[in-house]
Chains A and B, each alone.
Chain A
Amino acid sequence: MLNYEIVVIGGGPAGLAAAIEAKKNGAKDILVLERDMELGGILQQCIHNGFGLHVFKEELTGPEYAERFIQELKDMGIEYKLDTMVLEVSRDKKIRAMNREEGILNIHAKAVVLAMGCRERTRGAIRIPGTRPAGVMTAGTAQRFVNMEGYMTGKRVLILGSGDIGLIMARRLTLEGAEVLGVAELMPFSGGLNRNIVQCLEDYDIPLYLQHTVVDIEGKDRVEAVTIAQVDDRYKPIKGTEKRFDCDTLLLSVGLIPENELSKSAGITLDRITAGPNVNEAMETSVEGIFACGNVVHVHDLVDWVTEESRKAGRNAARYVSGALKNTGNKISVQGIKGVRYVVPQEIRPENLTGKTEFMMRVDGVYQNVKLVAKIGEEVIRSVKRRHVAPGEMENLMLDLGNIDPKNLNNLTIELVQEEGA
């Protein structure tokens, strides 16, 4: 049995930031476990720019952003194992992992940080009809093939879903010589950032078909054609609106799901909406001493926010190991209501608060001129105006909860209120 103070599961942006911050806050033995052949996670295939504007105040590509953290981790002498798959995490913080060199590893940790990230929804998750030929893959798979492995994924491509990875891949495949015929999006608005709609689709005259979905895939060995159709308000395809595209590839960019098989094996409570662990102000899950951060908790828009959240998890894991994290007082539950789909963290222990607390949330639709209103019981503690909110863009709210009466038993709620006269 190997013993460490802190074991971090996942060596992507979340795991790297958590491990570095834990070390800076006094933790001594830290081990990062990564299943891929190198550190950096999905950033290594995101070769486009736009990363780091908040953390580094400059615009970096994904690999550049990753390399800064990897270098820092190595300079600090933090231990890591590559090509290592974690099989199980238990409530008492025993970890079973395996790799080619060492076989099965049994590791005991005083604290664990879960940083496994998320994975893409696949064809099976959205039940697309038609035959099952080669050439149907997720946008992220195509991104890895093209940007890291050097394989072109097709010549004539249709994309379902207008999430950011789909938009980025529309541009990327066009630049490498493919013809991207269009992007179909089920919703009446794109799930991607505006800048990606403009720079990835409009720049290359790629049409975006809103309120459309795939109704048929043809082809025996390889995709030969894909048919899309317009949908009604209940997302049902409308007869007579079909468009058939001759193509050899269908990319799917239809959402991301936090990867929580290990969290479930540890008996951690998951949030129904985020599909990630419920966490408290310290990014600690429902199991004491097991922390979580990044896309395994909830899917973020920007890696910069993943880094910030993960630093918080790493700092608190170090505090937990040293006994500085308190867990004796009252707990306040946090809930998103009326237009706010979810809020992270889901629970607050006032005894651990220093300064302001940051809450991250997503709304359930596109709204103009609204207020985000935070209340404790019936008392409004903060109200902030927003000119524009959308499900594709995460909102954050800083709240000063330092003055809460420790005996207060009311819950904290955050809701959306339409502004008067708007």
Chain B
Amino acid sequence: MEKKEMICIVCPVGCHMEVVRDGKSKDGYEVSGNQCLRGKVYGVKEMSNPTRVLTTTVKIREGKLPRLPVTTKGAIPKGMMMEAMKTINQVEVKAPVKVGRVIIKNLLNTGVDVVATRSMEEEARSQSQKVS
């Protein structure tokens, strides 16, 4: 039988829950250990289709820093994280960049874009770091 123990992260109480697949229940899962309804909803979602927002960086040329932070514009399936990282790490952009600019459209056909989370002007780094 498919079952999983988890800590609910909906609120700071952090209930220790057990979620078990149950064909007879209308959600398909039986949740126990939760103290409120929101915990039950979270538990079912974590079993049926867990998703996460992915935040990382891409290379940027001619910016004042060598990395530009980016985020997926919505949550993507949890199981796709490593594949998504591989795709994002192949990208290189050139400064200047404005916050919110789409860096990758429709990441791995998830329908979710990857966007820049800061602006970065075009600028050489300060002199002390240029020497070498």
Contact = CB atoms under 8 A, between A and B. Distances in A.
Given A37-B126, A47-B117, A194 B9 contact: yes
Interface string A201-226: 01100000000000000000000000
Contact of B9 (A67, A147, A195, A387): A195
Given A61-B69, A150-B57, A203 B118 contact: no
A83 B125 CA distance: 13
Contacts of B54: 175
A234 B53 CA distance: 40
Contacts of B78: 203
Nearest to B52: A199
Contact of B57 (A47, A60, A193, A195): A47
A49 B53 contact: yes
Nearest to B5: A202
A393 B12 contact: yes
Interface in A128-177: 146-150, 172, 175-176
Interface stretch (B20-28, B59-67, B101-109): B59-67
Contacts of B6: 198, 202
Interface in B12-60: 12-14, 52-57, 59
B124 to A, nearest CB: 12
B99 interface: yes
Contacts of B53: 49, 59
Contact of B81 (A37, A64, A175): A175
A194 B39 CA distance: 14
Contacts, number: 79
Nearest to A66: B118
A149 B65 contact: yes
A203 to B, nearest CB: 7
Contacts of B7: 194, 197-198, 202
Nearest to B121: A38
Interface string B63-91: 01111010100000010011001000000
Find the residue from B6, B8, B9, B85 having the highest chain A CB count within 10 A: B9
A64 B118 contact: yes
A388 interface: yes
Contacts of A44: 118
Interface of B: 6-9, 12-14, 52-57, 59, 64-67, 69, 71, 78, 81-82, 85, 99, 117-119, 126
Interface of A: 37-38, 44, 47-49, 59-64, 66-67, 83, 146-150, 172, 175-176, 193-195, 197-199, 202-203, 387-388, 390, 393
Ranked nearest first, the 6 interchain pairs of A and B with the lowest CB-CB distance are A63-B118, A47-B69, A194-B14, A195-B9, A150-B66, A61-B117
5 contacts: A64-B99, A147-B67, A147-B69, A150-B59, A203-B52
Given A198-B9, A202-B7, A393-B12, 15 more contacts: A47-B69, A47-B117, A48-B55, A61-B117, A63-B69, A63-B99, A149-B67, A150-B65, A175-B56, A193-B12, A194-B7, A194-B8, A198-B6, A388-B13, A390-B12
